[in-house]
């Protein structure tokens, strides 16, 4: 096993900084309440203090996590602005921009869910607003802070499988499963900016860009849709062409849930299973000419890592790698996939 | 485990026919000598009797398998035509047509290696020649006779993973590995008709068409090449769009050897590892909502199956599924991938 994987949990960005920041959660929907809030309870550098929602029941749920709460007007008016140092925007995609603008006007650092907004024009405006206000902006690409993914990047950089020539992968998230019906915003073209590509395909795109450390030269794709998905892409199959590698990816809003990718190199392959589910331990299978090793249940816990990484950067002034421009790059690429489809 | 897989070895085409046929092997290169001849020694319906080669050492090697031998002129002149009932064409791709024409003129059944020839015009001429002569023509798609692949088709037809929505897969064959240098015909555009797409990508294309039981509406692709491969595609990434499914595939002439594909359905996935290597036991992992099962070392031995299937069809007059038109369809599709690349 390569030395990159001997201590998967090690943080390669943590300078043991002093202090912590207080976070307002803007948009207390299912993901923020059910996944994020429980994940960030024991962060080292961050405490959630405020919850913003238009729904009374969501505000009540946030209050149970010990948060002060307000609605969107209260947030826009800065009612609780003295109670937070940074803002996490977790609303539907098309509503990110105004909340980012509010945070920037209040001088608060921002971490925004992906995609940065529903269109590249709006995402660009979000980036420029934060740059002009001098506030940090992070796009919430949690895979970039997944411990296993960071070790994997080291391993690839170190030539672990020779030169990387290709990626392949699929992320299928059955969006109508469980209690989520067809009225959700993810199936609304205007609110979401797209369907499976925007919501889950972006994981494959961004993770590949992160692991390769470069941007594609071109993208193309094919979309399919049916029934309740008619407004957005239910299935997308897309190709991402880098200077020396190609990614062949797919994403779906229906079907048996899967999330995995394979990295092909001149001297080996890496397969990552359970690749994108929140906080899930991942399974990694590495094959090279010399050896085969498997790591089970490594990585995951990436949401706590993500928010600590963000807070640590805010406290220390360190560069944020998945910054606003990283998010903007993806929104532009997603639009190019749709244009070709 | 689904009942399709309880008896993987069972032949679903064998009528316990009488008789056997005698086979001439036309082109005794590495694959014919090293893989095919050892595989067909104990066929039920076929005995190799004649070997044709332009190389004296290859003829000597064929003679060690007990074959009468001649060179290509002798074959064209019908010198040993009384010693065989059927012809296996295993020359470089662009030379298939003349040997198929010779066999048809001699009234012999033909099994030709894939692709059927190097261009669709030539492949079409091969098909029409055999049709006019009334001789059976099979394209040697060995995966169609792999026992596991046939059971897998049953399983999919039976709705084993719901509706199939997507395929993904890679076949990487490091063609310069071992004793094979850059002078081989597989790297010669005119002799081969293309590179990785034609030689190994076609496995993904044909197997998918076989498993789905339908033909694509469109194909597209992207090729890359370097160094010794400059005449042909070293890497190809291609998308195959069926009416209700899409295949995202890749194939390479360099890199760590891999051969696997995944089938995605509305209710499950099937992963096939070690999918295309000759005679290799395959590994199958099936996940559905209800269960997960894994079959290791099933299938393989498909070359003996292939030649017995062919001989059985010749003896009984049964239709050949991977017939000449099946091979022609693929050559046309491969040309369309190149045209888009």
Here the ipTM equals 0.92
Say if the Cβ atoms of A170 and B168 lie within 8 Å.
Answer: yes
Q: Does the structure show a pLDDT above 90 at A12? A: yes
Of B98 and A229, more confident: B98
Q: Does the structure show a pLDDT above 80 at B309? A: yes
**pLDDT tens by residue, B252-285:** 999 999 999 999 999 999 999 999 999 999 999 9
Q: Mutate which of B221, B227, B237, B238 to test chain A, going by most A C-beta atoms within 10 A?
A: B237
Q: Mutate which of A172, A204, A264, A290 to test chain B, going by most B C-beta atoms within 10 A?
A: A264
pLDDT (0 to 100) of residue B181: 81
The total of other beta-carbon atoms located within 10 Å of residue B102's CB is 22
| Residues of chain A positioned with their CB less than 8 A from the CB of B256 | 161-162, 264-269, 287-289
| B70, B82, B103, B136 from B79: Cα distances, Å | 8, 8, 12, 22
Cβ–Cβ < 8 Å for A159, A148? no
pLDDT (0 to 100) of residue B211: 98
Cβ–Cβ < 8 Å for A138, A128? no
**pLDDT tens by residue, A184-220:** 999 999 999 999 999 999 999 999 999 999 999 999 9
Closest alpha carbon to A327 in A227, A179, A203: A203
Say if the Cβ atoms of B255 and A265 lie within 8 Å.
Answer: yes
| Residues of chain B positioned with their CB less than 8 A from the CB of A268 | 256
| Residues of chain A positioned with their CB less than 8 A from the CB of B287 | 256
Say if the Cβ atoms of B165 and A252 lie within 8 Å.
Answer: yes
As beta bridge partners, residue A167 has: A247, A263
| Residues of chain B positioned with their CB less than 8 A from the CB of A255 | 162, 165-166, 264-267
Q: Which residues of B60-86 are buried (b: 16+ CB within 10 A; e: fewer)?
A: ebbeebebbbbbbeebbeeebbeebbb
Nearest CA in chain A to B245: A224
**pLDDT tens by residue, A257-284:** 999 999 999 999 999 999 999 999 999 9
What mean pLDDT comes out for the span B160-174? Answer: 97
Of A114-128, A289-303, B98-112, B323-337, give the lowest mean pLDDT range. A289-303
pLDDT (0 to 100) of residue B275: 98
**pLDDT tens by residue, A37-77:** 999 999 999 999 999 999 999 999 999 999 999 999 999 99
pLDDT (0 to 100) of residue A28: 96
pLDDT (0 to 100) of residue B227: 85
The secondary structure of residue B20, as a DSSP letter, is -
pLDDT (0 to 100) of residue B312: 98
pLDDT category at B240 given cuts 50, 70, 90 is very high
pLDDT (0 to 100) of residue B178: 76
CA B341, CA B99: separation in Å to the nearest integer? 31
Say if the Cβ atoms of A256 and B250 lie within 8 Å.
Answer: no
**pLDDT tens by residue, A100-123:** 999 999 999 999 999 999 999 999
pLDDT (0 to 100) of residue B290: 77
What mean pLDDT comes out for the span B169-177? Answer: 95
**pLDDT tens by residue, B83-112:** 999 999 999 999 999 999 999 999 999 999
Q: Mutate which of B217, B248, B258, B261 to test chain A, going by most A C-beta atoms within 10 A?
A: B248
The Cα of B267 is separated from the nearest Cα of chain A by a number of Å equal to 5
pLDDT (0 to 100) of residue B120: 98
Nearest CA in chain A to B257: A268
What mean pLDDT comes out for the span B194-216? Answer: 98
pLDDT category at A166 given cuts 50, 70, 90 is very high
User: Residue B185, CB half-sphere, CA atoms under 13 Å: how many?
Assistant: 16
Query: For a pLDDT cut of 70, what percent of chain A falls above it?
Result: 100
pTM, full prediction: 0.95
Of B122-136, B221-235, B237-251, give the lowest mean pLDDT range. B221-235
Residue from the list B161, B246, B252 with its beta carbon closest to the beta carbon of A165: B252
| Residues of chain A positioned with their CB less than 8 A from the CB of B250 | 166, 168, 246, 248, 264
pLDDT (0 to 100) of residue B289: 85
Q: Mutate which of A227, A237, A249 to test chain B, going by most B C-beta atoms within 10 A?
A: A237
Closest alpha carbon to B171 in B236, B260, B93, B109: B260
Handedness of CA B303, B165, A35, A118 (dihedral sign): positive
pLDDT category at B7 given cuts 50, 70, 90 is confident
Cβ–Cβ < 8 Å for B198, B334? yes
**pLDDT tens by residue, A133-158:** 999 999 999 999 999 999 999 999 99
Say if the Cβ atoms of A246 and B248 lie within 8 Å.
Answer: no
Q: Does the structure show a pLDDT above 90 at A2? A: no
Arithmetic mean of pLDDT over chain B = 96
Closest alpha carbon to B297 in B326, B267, B324, B272: B272
């Amino acid at each position: 096993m390569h030395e990159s994987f001997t201590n998967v949990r090690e943080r390669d960005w943590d300078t043991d900084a002093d202090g912590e920041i207080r976070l307002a959660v803007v948009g207390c929907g299912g993901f923020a309440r059910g996944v994020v809030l429980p994940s960030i309870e024991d962060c080292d550098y961050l405490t959630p203090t405020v919850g913003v929602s238009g729904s009374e029941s969501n505000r009540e749920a946030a209050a149970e996590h010990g948060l002060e709460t307000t609605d969107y007007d209260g947030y826009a008016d800065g009612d609780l602005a003295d109670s937070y140092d940074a803002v996490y925007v977790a609303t539907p995609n098309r509503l990110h921009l105004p909340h980012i603008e509010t945070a920037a006007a209040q001088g608060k650092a921002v971490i925004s869910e992906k995609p940065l907004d529903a269109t590249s024009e709006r995402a660009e405006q979000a980036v420029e607003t934060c740059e002009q206000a001098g506030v940090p902006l992070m796009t919430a690409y949690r895979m970039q802070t997944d411990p296993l993914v960071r070790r994997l990047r080291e391993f690839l950089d170190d030539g672990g499988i020779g030169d990387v020539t290709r990626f392949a992968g699929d992320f299928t998230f059955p969006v109508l499963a469980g209690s989520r019906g067809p009225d959700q915003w993810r199936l609304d073209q205007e609110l979401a900016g797209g369907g499976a590509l925007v919501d889950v395909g972006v994981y494959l795109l961004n993770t590949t860009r992160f692991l390769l450390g470069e941007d594609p030269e071109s993208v193309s794709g094919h979309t399919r849709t049916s029934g309740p998905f008619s407004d957005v892409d239910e299935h997308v199959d897309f190709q991402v062409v880098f200077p020396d590698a190609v990614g062949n990816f797919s994403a779906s809003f229906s079907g048996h849930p899967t999330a995995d990718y394979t990295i092909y190199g001149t001297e080996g392959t890496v397969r990552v299973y359970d690749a994108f589910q929140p906080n899930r331990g991942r399974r990694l299978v590495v094959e090279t000419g010399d050896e085969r090793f498997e790591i089970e249940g490594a990585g995951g816990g990436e949401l706590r890592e993500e928010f600590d990484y963000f807070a640590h950067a805010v406290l220390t002034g360190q560069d944020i790698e998945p910054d606003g421009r990283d998010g903007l790059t993806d929104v532009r690429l997603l639009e190019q996939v749709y244009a070709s489809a």
